[in-house]
Structure 1
Amino acid sequence: MSAVFDRAGHEGSGAGDRLAPLCVLIVASEPLAASIGEEVARGLSDIAEVVWVDDGAAACAQVSAHPDRVVPLVLITASSASPGSSDSIDTRIATLDTQAILRRASVLLLTDRALHDDLSLSVDCDRLHAVIRIPGSPGILAWHARAQTVRWLSSHRPTDPRTRALVAADGRPVAQPESDLLRLLELDTQEVAAQLLAGIERVLGPRPRLLLPAGTRLIHEGVDVDAVLVVLRGRVALDHASAAGDLRLHHDSTGSVVGLLSLAQQQRAFFTARATTEVEVVHLSFEQLDRALAVDASLGAAMAAVSIRALAKRLRRADQLQVEKTQLNHVLERERRQLSEALRQLEQARLELVEQARYATLGEMAAGIAHELNNPVAAMLRATTYVGEDLERVLASHPQGRLASEIFAAERDRPPRSTREERAARRRLEVALGDAGLAQRLFDAGIEDPERARALAADPTSLDLVEAVAGIGSAVRNLEVASRRMCELVTSLRAYARPKGEPVAGVDLHAGLEDTLRLMAHRLRDVEIERSYGDLPPIRCHPGELEQLWTNLLVNARDALGDTLGGGPEGRGRIALITDAPDASHVRVQIRDNGRGIDPDILPRVFEPRFTTKQGAVRYGLGLGLAIARRIVDAHGGTIELSSRPGCTRVTITLPVAGPPDDEDIET
């Protein structure tokens, strides 16, 4: 159901001047609609058509039927007779807002209820512009509806000729307050102070002006305030003494009347008011101010306006300072995090430098030791060769020289055999001789032929000679093997400790791996080493850096096997070295162990400096092994990848045959 209470004319001077018709909607039940509609129509008869509808759906239908209308205002009612939650104010306004025309309109709530808890969403969305209690004083509703409509037109249709006509008809600018206080709040601070002083002088007579230089204290912190000063010209700042020194808390927000707040609260001054420029002020004692306010009540509005303006500026400044403080705290926190990260990286760099220094020191020591051992070891190896040759000549002169020379040569050149092969040879001798002890003596002397063993067993003199010569041959063999081993270790140590310089061309990657394995033999004695070497071209690289790389990776693989070496699926620790050439310009090295594997959650972090999977126990170096390994590989222009699962952890290094870029400096 709907009704039109008033139809205003909106025709222009010609057909081309027709203006969009204005319509004010009243959404109300029938008992209230008549009285509300008639009063609103009295206030808007020269502005808009006033239309009543039952509910929000009808309002939407009304604007849909007349899309040319402009709706500046919607009035909705709420009666205590039907406060049901299904018809809440939020719901009704939300229904209106489904139409764009109504979504732009101002909303007035007319209610006879003392309390509303059904319009929080409307307030939150800024869709409630006024609340009017009904029934109210006669004419209030008409006046308010007209004022809201004029305000809406001024905001949304400022060039509409009807807007200008309405402003002129009302006799004052739109939104200009009628009360003295609100009107004064619209003025500039100095204008309000001037009006206040003019009113005071009407009561007290002309007041002397005081001209004070910059630095003069107008009020003193901690001292009772018994007067105010009206600042006519110049600037005043408020300072506060603290343990951190004097703080300037307010400058632009001081206000034109200094001391008013302390005087009003009858408290000692919290600030020191200090002139920062030359100032012109009027001094008013408490008694003078009280007299002026008592005689001229209109001065109260000016005094309130001055106080409100000063407080508003001060509060706004305090809010700005709080925002700035929050922003500065945010910046400070970000910089603190950056500083913390920088310190962490600095600590990592320091640890890396310590590691580098350790490696450098070890390298220098290794180079020195290798140099000192090189000549003695070479002399020992040559002496071993000479001793063997001399012994052969001595044995040849023995009456049984042929037998002695044969036994000596056989034992000296005897190849290593497996334990199973040795047990089988001893059993054959035991069967032939029938004496386990004698069989062991002959086997130790290098005799394995049963017929020859029977002949020697029958000749005790020859047996003693064979045992003695076999012992000499075994000793010479051990001396040669040990000397050669020492020579190989010295060679590997010299290669490992080679001074860093320009990249070396023609490097055999397998030789570097073998050097590293020899130097780490003491760590790997209980580990099965599997080699699967492919055909690799010589590469250009820093050999010492790569041998450090192999050392770090082999140490990690050995540690991954655990102290008991029972982590593998076969119950035995195993490390495999696999090499191949994926293409003509690259070589690839895989180092694989059958340990327990690495937790997938921490796998991405294993290349971070100081990261360890050993429950905080860094057994080798400083926990920088994989970090340094990655740096060496990166500096060579290669890649390093790590994959892990229980029973198989694989590190794959791919290096370019051409070597690192010429301008790349490897820092480990």
Structure 2
Amino acid sequence: MNSFVIVCLDDDPTIIERLNQELAGFAGLFDLCNAYSIREAYEILDLVEHQGQQVAAVICDNRLGLDNGVDFLIQLESHPATRHARSVLLNDKPQLDSIMQAVNEGRLHYCLNKPWQPSELLQVLTKELTTFVLKHPGEDWLQYSQVLDHRRILNAHIERQMANFRSGFIQNTNDLDDETLARQVTDALHDFFDGNDESRACRTYSADHLLTQEGQPNRFLWFITMGEVVLYKKDEHGNKHEVVRVGPGNLVGGMSFVTGEPSFSTGVTLGKTDVIKLDRTLFNKVMNSRSELLPLFTNLLLRNFNRRLQGSIRTEMQLQQTLQSLDAAYQQLIEKEKMAMLGQLVAGVAHELNNPVSAILRGSDTLKHTICKLTKTQLSLENQTRGNMILQQAMQSRPLSTAETRSRAKALELKLGDRQLARKAVQMGIDGPEHLESWLLSQKKNLKPVMDEWDNYYQMGSFLRSMHVCAQRIADLVKSLKSYARQDDETFHQVDIHEGLEDTLVIFENRLKHHHVTKEYAKLPLITCQPIALQQVWTNLIANALDAIEAPGEIRITTRFTPGIQNEDNENQCVDIIVEDNGKGIAPAQQEKIFELNYTTKREGNFGLGIGLSVCQQIIHHHHGEIRVESEPGRFTRMIATLPLRGDASLSGEAPSLASKIPANQEAL
């Protein structure tokens, strides 16, 4: 029995047989299990869990009788045996919505169209199984290299070995004193050269033997095992000065040997001296044959350098050389930091663009069908003109709270006698007195088909507005990127905070349609703020709420005057913007950390760098406000952002640009 299992799910026995034939090469390291229905598949998963195995990959047909293979893949994460399994969908009928849903949920890694080429499945499985195996560091990766991606596995194995080596590089020697460390290196070197010293590395010199000469190239590293060596340095007038004497366990020529630079000092033996002389070829030979010697030898070399720096040879020339080395290292760190930030920026921009672009694509696809309906409308010329007015109004609609929508629809229902028509009229904005008699009641007998036609105009206007909002979101992101490069300032504006919230909801429309959204908007005056920056806050908070809930979930967005504020004092007035969800909640210990940079509560596989709420806090503080969290695990999470109607920053008319304050990726926790 192997550690990992590959599950093949298809109600067609011929497909199962073909899968088994093509996957036979994996059978030595992966158990192959077949299922002809979702019920059988769950029985196999339970058996796999009972046997202590894990599912590495699930190959599932899109259509399984009356069942949907995509739905099965989405549910895989909930089963302990398949939490990290790779998923491959066999698809013969395009179902983009369900497939995209699986991709968004992170449970569909590849879609293979039927019929597939003979080598196509092997290539996909090789890649996906390699990814799965490399997520299990406790496994012997090398045993999988013959059937999976040899290069990736070998590179990962080497990196893991190097990481283990680095982790013990200093720890293995930092408890040793200098004498013990030197004795271990000496014993290891003598053991290596015992009976195998054709190069005469172990030598004995008499007094006044020259080892290194200042300013001259040096190809050797001298390890002193007995005796004493004195190091000399010339001053600017050419006079020779003794700077230090070194004995057993010390290295001579270490700096020039490592860097390839000319010798820094002249080394001369004072008396009979035993040394081990290594050139680069011999040094590599010793270290390659004795891997345990490298950390010992390196640590000894570092200790020698440290003693030299702390010793009597700290001349002005050495200080200058050290400062130059530090400056060069600092510049390298700066360049590395720039590259790291650039990588985060690219990832963040790609993620930020995804939502508005997806919304534009959905809107354009819907518009194609809506336009066809409008060209075939049966409305009279007068009602067509009214439809055009509805379209224009939908493009500039004012955000309505859920409570206001319900109240107005209830009042109109008493006059129209139809709840659905009343609700549609409120959505279209034609429930006012100027519309009631001439538009609605005058054609009450035929109102339903007319309203259905008008709804096409409303939908077109609504989608055009949504596309405009998403395009503006992309433009704002580009503007922020330009500001990041130029460090321009973004001015404060007076805006309706509800419009920014509505625009954010439009961007998340495809995900929000699976949940219930309630809006409770207070009648607020215009707020002086940076609208682009606050748009980023709403984006992060709503994205967090969506990630925390399972369909069908509930999200409530509320605006209100801060409790205790005197409404007549506009100078000190503040408002709360609350985003609440009924998700899994946040533990009290985590609530204290969620605003820390690089802290994330998202599970593995979800996009999140842990900088979203940190950025939100920076933006809110920049507006002289505050943001806090209230949460009860298993019940709800409530994010509350408090903003002043007018802050001190608004008086200046400008503030640092958003992009100069925000790290590259704005994703939430």
- In our comparison, the structure showing a higher alpha carbon Rg is 1
Shorter-chain TM-score tier: 0.3 to 0.5
Q: TM-score with structure 2 length normalisation? A: 0.36
Q: TM-score with structure 1 length normalisation? A: 0.36
